[in-house]
Structure 1
Amino acid sequence: MRIPITASVFLDEAELSVRFIQSSGPGGQNVNKVATAVQLRLDALGSPSLPEALKARLPQVAGQRLTQGGELVITARAHRTQEANRRDALERLVALLREAAHRDRPRVATRPTHASKRRRLEGKARQGIRKAERGARWDGE
């Protein structure tokens, strides 16, 4: 099955590795017996599905979730069932990859308008007058 990341990028589900581990948190005695937490792994930097531009931005977006070997690890343990945690981990993976796929528009340098320059200088002049008036007064005698 193909998982849509963006309109043009799809991730093959066969590239994902899912492991169930013991979870901490709610569940009482059940938490000690059942492995409900999910650890989702994707060899992100070696994935043929992901474009090079996305792979280049992934280390900044993923942070600690990306291993030295380029593997993306998502751990989900918020829910009590394996299926809910699996769904949560997959949603978080897709959100992370979408964030890495998003490219900011480059900033276009603009020049300040004549009116904005004038307003800035008028404000500086007012502030200068205000500060000058704080000084000691001299009567002239």
Structure 2
Amino acid sequence: MKHVISDRDAFIREFKFQTSRSSGPGGQHVNKVSSRVELRFNLKETQLLSEENKALLYKKLATRISQEGVLSVVVQADRSQLKNKQTAIEKFFEMLEHALKPEKKRRATKPSRAARERRLQAKKQSSEKKTRRRSSDWKD
């Protein structure tokens, strides 16, 4: 997996950052400083990823990708724009690694003997309950 994003600097050169005022607490400071950071990465135009990796990202990160093919990551956790920028970059690479990690194949398993016995016992109890309902004499 590491080979896909081995050159982080190349990715970082393609990032576009947009800042704005962050919401939430911060007092007077929050009204003066644009600390919210939005990292934008154009998936459609990049040459750093193969077409199959792009397709995988479009599938797995569909909610974060715009119609123009731009992947965006928004961070406003900190009061510092620089820290938010660093956090956005780390978050981007974590998302990329997670989305491009191959899924493990599911190994088929069989229910244990105890589980089968519990299931059959529950079926038997249910069956007995229903037969008791049917056979009761209502004409008393």
The TM-score bracket by the shorter chain reads 0.7 to 0.9
Q: How does 1:1-141 map to 2 (within 5 A)?
A: 6-10=1-5, 11=8, 12=10, 13-107=12-106, 119=117, 120-121=119-120, 123-137=122-136
Determine helix, strand or coil for the equivalent of 2:68. coil
Give 1:126 deviation, angstroms. Answer: 3.7
Structure 1, unpaired ranges of 5+: 1-5
Name the one with the larger helix percent.
Answer: 2
Offset at residue 130 of structure 1 (A): 2.6
**Stretches of structure 2 lacking an aligned partner (at least 5 in a row):** none
Q: Percent identity?
A: 32
Distance 2:44 2:89 in 1: 18
Give the aligned length.
Answer: 132
Q: Secondary structure at the match of 2:72?
A: strand
1:26–1:80 CA contact under 8 A, matched in 2: no
Scaled by the length of structure 2, the TM-score of the pair is 0.75
Contact kept, 8 Å, 1:54 with 1:100, in 2: the verdict is no
Q: Amino acid of the residue matched to residue 3 of structure 2?
A: S
Pair 1:53–1:108, CA change in 2 (3 A): farther
Cα RMSD of the aligned pairs, angstroms, is: 2.7
Q: Give secondary structure in 2 for the equivalent of 1:134.
A: helix
After TM superposition, the structure 1 stretch with the greater mean CA deviation from structure 2, 8-17 or 55-64, is 55-64
User: CA offset at residue 128 of structure 1?
Assistant: 1.2
More strand by share: 1
